[in-house]
């Protein structure tokens, strides 16, 4: 793994960790202020799972293991974007808040996809 690959992985991990904090805060808001417990629980699971899978990828024992964990993080990011859209379209999240957190999820997703593409190209 070269330095550029390593720094991009660290950057995405940091962004995913900060994103997880936003997700936890969104969960608290949704449950305490909006009394919404079902969709918010799904958001909490998928949104915090992105960083958890990246943490596992950091301890991968093989390239295949690393790729699998990165792939899971990417899929959890896609799921998170789905729950965010559903919460917005059902009136639980306001447009401005949605745009901010969705942009973060989108950025993380693009970073993960790029890492996956590079990893699979370098280690077929």
Cα separation, 54 vs 46, whole angstroms: 13
pLDDT of residue 89: 98
Predicted TM-score (pTM) of the model is 0.90
Q: Which CATH architecture has domain 3-122?
A: Up-down Bundle (1.20)
Mean predicted confidence (pLDDT) in 84-113 = 98
Q: Is 88 left (phi over 0), alpha (psi -120 to 50) or beta?
A: alpha
pLDDT of residue 8: 57
pLDDT in tens, 57-80: 989 999 899 999 999 999 999 999
Cα separation, 124 vs 67, whole angstroms: 10
Q: Assign 58 to helix, strand or coil.
A: helix
Tokens for 124, please give them: 């077929």
The domain segmentation of the chain, as residue ranges, is 3-122
Of 67, 105, 54, the residue nearest 84 (C-alpha): 105
Mean predicted confidence (pLDDT) in 45-61 = 95
């Amino acid at each position: 793994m070269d330095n550029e690959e390593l720094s991009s992985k660290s950057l995405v991990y940091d962004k995913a960790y900060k994103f997880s904090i936003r997700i936890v805060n969104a969960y608290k808001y949704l449950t305490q202020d909006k009394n919404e417990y079902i969709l918010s629980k799904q958001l909490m699971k998928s949104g915090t799972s992105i960083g958890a899978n990246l943490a596992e990828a950091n301890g991968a024992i093989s390239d295949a293991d690393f790729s699998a964990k990165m792939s899971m993080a990417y899929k959890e990011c896609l799921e998170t974007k789905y729950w965010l859209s559903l919460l917005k379209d059902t009136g639980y999240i306001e447009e401005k808040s949605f745009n901010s957190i969705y942009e973060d999820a989108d950025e993380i997703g693009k970073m993960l996809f790029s890492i996956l593409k590079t990893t699979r190209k370098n280690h077929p």
